[in-house]
Amino acid sequence: SMTSPVNNNVDTDTNKKPAAVIVSNTVNLRTGPGTTYSSADQAQPGEKLAVLDQKDGWYQVSRGGVPFWVAGWVVDVAWEEHEPIPEPEPEPKPVETPQPKPEEIKEDVIKLSYTKDETGITLKMTSGSKLNPEIEKTASGLTYTYKDMQIEGLNLIKQDIGSNQLRMRGINSGNDAIISVEIPAGVEFRTETLDKGKTEAIIIPNFILNIERKAFGSTGERIIITTIAPVEYTKTQQDDKVIFEFKDLLLGKARSQYSFNSSLIKGVTLEELSGKNPGVIMTIATKELGQSSAGVGSDGAFNIMLRGKSETRQVRENLIVLDPGHGGSDSGARGSTLTEKEVNLDIALQVGEILKKKGYEVEYTRTGDTYVGLQERANIANRLNAAVFVSIHNNSFTTNDKMGTETFFYAPVSNPDLFLQKDDRERLARNIHNQLLSKLRRIDRGVKQENYSVLRNTNMPSALVEIMFINNPTEEQLLKQSNIRALAAEAIAEGIDQYMKGR
């Protein structure tokens, strides 16, 4: 006859879900929920395995990203509410090709190279031995002569500095190497000897090439600062003043003062700091400042945008619009059994309930299995003058090995309305993303900018979350579980709440 094992561990209360099993004796991990299924592996004492599912007194657990079944009566169960999520399994990494080691340069050989970063442009001449150049100042720059040395590899480096060019050209002349460096007139530079004499460097500190102002809309102002290399900056706002601190930057061709015929900008001053923390402080004094934003455009120039208070849009400060992705004839991504549209809706409705309990007004772009066009989703939020819009999705990929959480916002320099919300949009995305990571503990795929219709067409700060990959077997298993969906909803609501409170 058959005897049923006594089952102490599997809780029949459906509200209480096991989080993990703790193994104290070596146990079989089987391919299905029963002893008739084959044992595929064994778990060792001390292992803690996340529970994916349960059936007939057996637990489905995740081990190294692979699901197995283990008998409920041979393990202990952990019920923690916030510990249930399997540790993210690292994604299989592409086989890394070892980085070539910096090759040894021969003693009588010189190599030319350059770097361009926040501090400026550095041209380098490097050898395997201590260099002893003759340096001659010429009308257009410097000439380095190295006796009994030969240049190998790159022999011409060109870098645009505005409409001029910085050039380093090397030739082998008889037994000697001759390197001429042409530096555009008026450009500051210094020479340095580095690496115990094995490198001669010419350093052109980062500086401002040009400052240009463009007006847009009725009060919008755009200031474009062109520099020879990317800038590092901090932005602060004091009353109606916006202040930028640029590290390692010289005024260059900029003036110390600008005044425009503007209803918004009273004046702009720039001050060059020398000493230990060199840089430029730029102060923009305004009248009735509404919004301000700054960042680097696709052309590499630093853009500042400002807009007056009078152009501030009407906002229902307490209203959040939630957008469950897809619906109706559009199922979105698919797992083996789940469809994205149903998961998105379930989670979005739960997010809304949590937010309502926190005192927010909540509207949805859909509350049932209906088709809503992308433009219409943004229109709904725009018509309602919502304070914030969050689109909820789950991911998929052409292969099923991708996992993790990613969150998007969109605020390009090319679209002033969106760019002026850059800080808010990014903060909304980051708050939600960080909450999802800390509660679900999936792989961090990052916060990214993407030109999605709902992000581009919403007038208010907006974000789009991809919680997990529905076509990844491990993550589909997670998304099937009501406690995991509840946790995702809690995370998204918490992120939105954080954002709203931080405005």
**How far, CA to CA in Å, does 417 sit from each of 105, 126, 235, 311, 452?**
52, 48, 19, 11, 15
Please identify, among the stretches 177-185, 233-241, 249-257, 388-396, the one whose residues bind Zn ion according to the rule CB under 5 A.
Answer: 388-396
332 binds Zn ion (CB under 5 A): yes
Minimum CB distance to Zn ion smaller for 240 or for 342 = 342
Interacting span for Zn ion (CB under 5 A) from 4-12, 53-61, 326-334, 488-496:
326-334
Shortest distance, CB of residue 332 to Zn ion, whole angstroms? Answer: 4
Round to whole Å and give the CA distance between 10 and 295.
55
Tokens describing residue 24: 């104290």
- Please say which residue, 133 or 325, places its beta carbon nearer to Zn ion: 325
CB of 424 to Zn ion, least distance (A): 23
Decide if 232 is catalytic: no
Among candidates 305, 175, 283, which has minimal Cα distance to 239? 283
What are the Cα distances from residue 56, in Å, to 93, 155, 337, 341, 438? 37, 73, 21, 30, 32
Q: Which CB sits closer to Zn ion, 377 or 393?
A: 393
- State both tokens at 1: 């006859």
- Nearest residue (CB) to Zn ion, 124 versus 393: 393
- If the CB atoms of residues 331 and 379 are measured against Zn ion, the closer one turns out to be 331
Taking CB under 5 A as the criterion, the residue among 393, 402, 442, 456 binding Zn ion is 393
How many C-beta atoms surround the C-beta of residue 105 within 10 A? 16
Q: Segment near Zn ion (CB under 5 A), from 1-9, 121-129, 242-250, 323-331?
A: 323-331
Least distance from Zn ion to the Cβ atom of residue 192, Å: 53
What radius of gyration do the chain's Cα atoms show? 30
CB closer to Zn ion, 126 vs 396: 396
Binding piece for Zn ion, criterion CB under 5 A, among 90-98, 118-126, 132-140, 332-340: 332-340
Tokens read off for 390: 């969050």
User: In the chain, what is the greatest distance between 2 CA atoms, to the nearest angstrom?
Assistant: 103
- In the list 325, 335, 404, 495, the residue contacting Zn ion (rule: CB under 5 A) is 325
Residue-wise burial string across 329-353, b where 16 or more C-beta atoms lie within 10 A, e elsewhere: eeebbebeebbbbbbbbbbbbbbbe
Cβ proximity to Zn ion: between 201 and 380 the closer is: 380
Q: Which two tokens stand for residue 42?
A: 């064994």
CB of 144 to Zn ion, least distance (A): 58
Q: Is 341 a binder of Zn ion (CB under 5 A)?
A: no
Taking the complex as a whole, the smallest distance from the CB of residue 341 to Zn ion amounts, in Å, to: 8
Residue nearest to Zn ion (CB): 393
Helix residue ranges per DSSP H, 229-291 = none
Contact assessment for residue 474 and residue 50, using Cβ atoms and an 8 Å cutoff: no
Kind and range of the H or E run holding 199: strand 199-205
282-290, 320-328, 422-430, 491-499 -> range binding Zn ion (CB under 5 A): 320-328
The pair of structure tokens assigned to 79 is 């019920």
From 466, 475, 490, 494, active-site residue: 466
Size of the site for Zn ion (CB under 5 A): 3
- Count CB neighbours of 269 within 10 A: 15
Under rule CB under 5 A, residue 335 binds Zn ion = no
Task: For Zn ion, give the closer residue by CB, 220 or 332.
Answer: 332
Residue 489, H or E segment: helix 482-501
Q: For 101-140, list the strands marked E by DSSP.
A: 109-117, 120-127, 134-138
Q: Could you identify the residue written with the tokens 């410097």?
A: 142
24: alpha, beta or left, given left = phi > 0 and alpha = psi -120 to 50?
A: alpha
Tokens of 62: 């995740």
- Using CB under 5 A as the criterion, which residues of the chain lie in contact with Zn ion when the complex forms? 325, 332, 393
Could you give the residue numbers annotated as active site?
A: 466
